[in-house]
Chain A
Amino acid sequence: MHMADALLSPAVGGAMWVVSGGLVAYSAKKVREEADDRKIPLMGVLGAFIFAAQMINFTIPGTGSSGHMGGGMILAILLGPYASFLVLASVLTVQALFFADGGLLALGCNIINMGFFTSFVAYPLIYKKIMGCGHDKKRLLLAATVAGVVGLQFGAFGVVLETVSSGISELPFKAFVLLMLPIHLAIGLVEGLVTSGVVSFVMAARPEILTAAAERTPLGVSVKSAVLGIAAAAVLIGVALSWFASANPDGLEWAMLRTYGKEELETKGKVHDLLASLQKKTAFLPDYDFKKVGTDPEAGTNTGEVKVEAAPVRKAAWPAVDVGTSVAGLVGGSLTLVMALLAGFGLKRRKVAS
């Protein structure tokens, strides 16, 4: 469930970068404060372990299909929230860099979706609460499964929110939620089973590893307040950035519509004139977004709640598109592409020749 750059708006991607960057810095500080040098190589090789274990396919119980594990919860159990968050963030970074899983701009989103919810929500608030300090296997199964499911549900919901508030995909919020959550319910169940299986193996073979892990991860009030703080920060930054983006002539017309409202658009203030002229310069399909957005009053300024449900569009709201412009766009686009490629080849030829 990696978010992709292609589906992101800069406001959403940027907000998630800021939030996840802050979290990385905060976790790094916490890990440094723990002053456990042993953890440095341990975190590194455990990150590599996640890759290694993900390589192995297994049959999912009760079905014929096969899958592989995620491993976030195992990391949290072994390392505690801060270190496991750093490890997950590093794993996602490597995936973004080497496999182009997700993408660089989407990295912030992915770190929040997969790292934050596992390390800072599902682990401390669910797993720890159910598990307590005991070593009971039935409890472990319950705790790991519930935490696995909740973590993934949050993550999937994050993907939906980020995609919908970016406004690139047309998928309506409700349908997307109905698509993502059930799938991730199943994935979460399997992940919970894997977590409890692997952890109980370690419990039986080398219980001291788990005891040591539990001891060196003191969990106080700080996690809860961190969670709340981060949620608040995410919303604030999202609002600020989307406002900033919409206040800029940046092609994010939909956001502008939401911010200024329909009436002001129709009055065609100076800002709008400027925007329109700029937009004519920049857009392939001029005036594409001046469709009627419906009249729902609750259209907020918060990117978090923008809905992209195809609003009832009146044909008249669409200005006639100049076919000539479109053809020009097609011809020009192809030519530019060819030129870009030729420039590249030219560069290569020159190199070979020299």
Chain B
Amino acid sequence: MNKLGENLVDIGYMDTLAAGDSPLHRLDPRAKIFTTFLFLVAVVSFNKYEVSALVPFFLYPVFLIFAGELPAGYLAGKILVVAPFAILVGIFNPVLDRQILFHIGSLGISGGWISFLSILMRFVLTVSAALALLSITGINSICEALARSGVPRPFVVQLLFLNRYIFSLTGESERMSRARSLRSCSHKAMNFGIFTQIAGHLLLRTFDRAERVYQAMLCRGFDGHIRVVRYSRIGRREIAFMLVWAVLFVVFRFVNISLILGQTVTGLLK
């Protein structure tokens, strides 16, 4: 099983998290999605050398994680797993941008290192907020929110079905490749020819399954439209949640709280 296989275990776990019952879980998903997008836009809108002003933004994911009673260590692990691409591209910054911006003691810090640090911080902020959003909302509620925000129905239904059958089909593919490895002596990855056979079989089974699901839908009066049950609504708590965070994001965006705080502290020390 590769990285993706291991990741699938996570889907189940994150579903469990999303089934939690904190006040955050109970908020209308639209409020959470909207607020998270404001957050993302605010974070990525900083210039590439920005570091200190990004720090206050950690309040949002941290809030989601603790108020949503999410396992912080687990989410941190997931963030590390997806870090390589951002690191890979970001690491060129110190190499290419060697302009020394300032010195700490005798150590010269180049613009490249600053922007690399900024990339890493953006990365942690955006990924942690997205993961926390999913863990306190759940894919089904996200779909409900999408449907009610005007996202085209075929796409929402596609997401729902995809999510529903990921487990059934990955289970099947896992069993097939296990059966293959039990009958082969090497532990290596399977050869290419066998892979196309297995994938082909899996594809045919997928078609058969689609046909059975379709019949089951017909049997219960399916007429081409999937109707989604509506649970939540935007109330005072949702509006308060969105407003408070929106104001905070604007403040964080235009006032460098870290810097002011730091100046005050260093000023006091002097």
CB pair A167–B48 under 8 Å, yes or no, is yes
A57 to B190: give the CA distance in the assembly, Å: 7
CB pair B204–A205 under 8 Å, yes or no, is yes
Contact of A10 among B44, B55, B115 (CB under 8 A): B44
Q: Which residues of chain B have C-beta atoms less than 8 A from A59's C-beta?
A: 188-192
A10-B45, A51-B166 are known contacts. Are A330 and B254 too (CB-CB below 8 A)? no
CB pair B154–A37 under 8 Å, yes or no, is no
Q: Which residues of chain A have C-beta atoms less than 8 A from B79's C-beta?
A: 100
Q: Would you call A211 an interface residue if the criterion is a C-beta within 8 Å of the partner chain's C-beta atoms? A: no
Q: Would you call A228 an interface residue if the criterion is a C-beta within 8 Å of the partner chain's C-beta atoms? A: no
A99 to B85: give the CA distance in the assembly, Å: 13
CB pair B210–A332 under 8 Å, yes or no, is no
| Interface-facing stretch out of B34-42, B228-236, B237-245 | B34-42
Contact with B along A68-109 (1 / 0, CB 8 A): 110000100000000000110111011011111101110000
Q: Would you call A328 an interface residue if the criterion is a C-beta within 8 Å of the partner chain's C-beta atoms? A: yes
Per DSSP, are chain A's interface residues mostly helix, strand or loop, or mixed?
helix
Per DSSP, are chain B's interface residues mostly helix, strand or loop, or mixed?
helix
Q: Which residues of chain A have C-beta atoms less than 8 A from B206's C-beta?
A: 45-46, 48-49
How far does the Cβ of B74 sit from chain A's closest Cβ, in whole Å? 13
CB pair B63–A347 under 8 Å, yes or no, is yes
Q: Which residues of chain B have C-beta atoms less than 8 A from A337's C-beta?
A: 55, 58
Q: Would you call A125 an interface residue if the criterion is a C-beta within 8 Å of the partner chain's C-beta atoms? A: no
Q: Would you call A288 an interface residue if the criterion is a C-beta within 8 Å of the partner chain's C-beta atoms? A: yes
Q: Would you call A260 an interface residue if the criterion is a C-beta within 8 Å of the partner chain's C-beta atoms? A: no
Contact with A along B42-60 (1 / 0, CB 8 A): 0111111111110110110
Contact with B along A14-38 (1 / 0, CB 8 A): 1000000000110111011001011
Q: Which residues of chain A have C-beta atoms less than 8 A from B207's C-beta?
A: 42, 206, 209
How far does the Cβ of A70 sit from chain B's closest Cβ, in whole Å? 12
- Nearest 6 A/B pairs, CB to CB: A44-B161, A332-B262, A201-B200, A197-B196, A28-B152, A328-B262
A residues neighboring B (CB under 8 Å): 2, 4-10, 13-14, 24-25, 27-29, 31-32, 35, 37-38, 40-49, 51-61, 66, 68-69, 74, 86-87, 89-91, 93-94, 96-101, 103-105, 163, 167-172, 193-194, 197-198, 201-202, 205-206, 209, 245, 250-254, 278, 281-285, 288-289, 291, 310, 313, 318, 321, 323-337, 340-341, 343-345, 347-348, 351
